[in-house]
């Protein structure tokens, strides 16, 4: 009984750390988005610097989850949850990388503002900040329906990416001397599109944890 109590206490700590990691990733993405909007190079640097904390959180969480697996002999449901922990940290770390990439692009673009609307990029990032929050909440609450609903939002991300890609390519065709700027924006949009895929992967891990079956969401 004491061993089970200790296991649940450690699991609770892992939940707290996952929440902290997800929150930090969302904050970094929000800063990168604001840097893109405002051209604030200092804020872009702040967003990039925050990625180091995300990487450190991943290592800490995974080390503690590995110790639990090795020492507590978790039963099937517990083991699925710990496997989900590894998947969440992996994908949150990758999401953090894309947020950092976006911040780097924002800093470079601050020197040469894009003359057209960045609304599709902004829409993608805003939606993904909410998706990160919902995906982490789905894990913490063992809510597979929330995970499924969250993954469906990736369709909106893909649509915004497609719209912006067409607009940016049109800009480059009309302004070939601005090709480098256009390509930076296209890469930024592609990073955000991939970021949404990682959130979907988190949602799939939650469904596996709760229902014990592998699913492909939002194919």
Region 184-206: mean pLDDT is 95
Element (H, E) at 71: helix 41-72
The better pLDDT of the pair 198, 213 is held by 198
Burial of 96 (0-12, 13-18, 19+ CB in 10 A): buried
> Are 90 and 24 within 8 A, CB to CB?
no
Match 């990416």 to its residue by tokens. 161
| Residues 102 and 206 sit within 8 Å (Cβ to Cβ) | no
Are the C-beta atoms of residues 147 and 138 closer than 8 Å to each other? yes
Q: pLDDT-derived band of residue 144, with 50, 70 and 90 as boundaries?
A: very high
- Tell me the domains of the chain and their CATH numbers: 2-211 (1.20.58.220)
- The pLDDT score that the predictor gives to residue 116 is 84
Which residue's structure tokens are 């904050």? 27
Share of the chain above pLDDT 90, in %: 71
pLDDT score of 39 more than 70: yes
Residue whose pair of structure tokens reads 């640097």 in the numeric block: 45
Split at pLDDT 50, 70, 90, the class of 1 is low
H or E, element range at 108: helix 76-109
């Amino acid at each position: 009984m004491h061993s089970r109590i200790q296991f649940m206490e450690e699991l609770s700590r892992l939940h707290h750390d996952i929440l902290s990691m997800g929150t930090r990733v969302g904050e970094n993405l929000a800063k990168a988005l604001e840097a893109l909007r405002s051209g604030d190079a200092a804020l872009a640097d702040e967003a990039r610097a925050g990625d180091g904390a995300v990487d450190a959180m991943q290592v800490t969480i995974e080390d503690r989850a590995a110790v639990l697996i090795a020492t507590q002999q978790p039963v099937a449901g517990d083991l699925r949850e710990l496997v989900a922990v590894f998947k969440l940290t992996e994908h949150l770390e990758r999401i953090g990388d894309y947020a950092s990439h976006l911040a780097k692009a924002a800093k470079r673009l601050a020197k040469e503002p894009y003359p057209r609307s960045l609304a599709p990029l902004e829409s993608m990032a805003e939606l993904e900040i909410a998706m990160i929050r919902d995906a982490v909440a789905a894990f913490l609450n063992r809510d597979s329906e929330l995970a499924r609903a969250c993954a469906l939002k990736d369709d909106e991300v893909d649509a915004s990416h497609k719209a912006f890609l067409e607009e940016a390519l049109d800009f480059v065709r009309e302004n070939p001397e601005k090709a480098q700027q256009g390509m930076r924006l296209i890469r930024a949009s592609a990073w955000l599109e991939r970021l949404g895929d990682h959130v979907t992967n988190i949602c799939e891990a939650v469904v596996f944890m709760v229902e014990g079956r592998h699913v492909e969401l939002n194919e």
